[in-house]
Amino acid sequence: MQDCVFCKIVERQLPSTVVYEDDKVMAFNDINPVAPVHVIIIPKAHIANVNELTESNASVMGDIHLAAGKIAEKLGVADKGYRLINNCGADAGQTVFHLHYHDSGCQAGAEDNLRYQKRLCY
């Protein structure tokens, strides 16, 4: 989609630090991280948010979660713990309207964790 930041990242029209990519999914570091590990996981196809999932495109949710496990392993948070967050709609804090999950490493009780919850889990 023409004016979508994440589509531009997929098309390499905008720079990003890619941490995972396959034919359906891409993951890159959040430009404004709120935790030491803060990755954005997206389907390569443009879907605005969960409201736009249909029977024909919903398989991307499985693709995203499979990728999330691999990314967590790669970034060393699989055993320690990480959080997958999806914001759907403006009131939920969605600012980029291309379906995405925040994949964030967590440290129990750490300041990073608290900041993350405040910003993304109102």
Q: Return the structure tokens found at 4.
A: 């979508």
The amino acid present at 17, given as its one-letter code, is T
Q: Is 118 exposed, middle or buried (0-12, 13-18, 19+ CB in 10 A)?
A: exposed
Is 46 one of the catalytic residues? no
Q: Is position 8 an interface residue for Zn ion (rule: CB under 5 A)?
A: no
Q: Which of 38, 98, 100, 102 is catalytic?
A: 100
- Cβ proximity to Zn ion: between 48 and 78 the closer is 48
Chain position carrying tokens 């991307």: 60
Among 7, 20, 24, 30, binds ligand AMP (CB under 6 A): 30
Q: What is the DSSP letter of 79?
A: T
- Rounded to the nearest 5 degrees, what angle is found at the Cα of 96, between the Cα atoms of 79 and 60? 55
Among 36, 81, 89, 93, binds ligand AMP (CB under 6 A): 93
In angstroms, what CA-CA distances link 55 with 19, 28, 67?
28, 27, 20
Rounded to a whole number of angstroms, the minimum distance from the CB of residue 54 to ligand AMP is 21
The span of 65-73, 74-82, 87-95, 110-118 binding ligand AMP (CB under 6 A) equals 87-95
Q: Which residues are catalytically annotated?
A: 100
Binding residues (CB under 6 A) for ligand AMP: these are: 5, 14, 16, 28, 30-32, 40, 87, 93-96
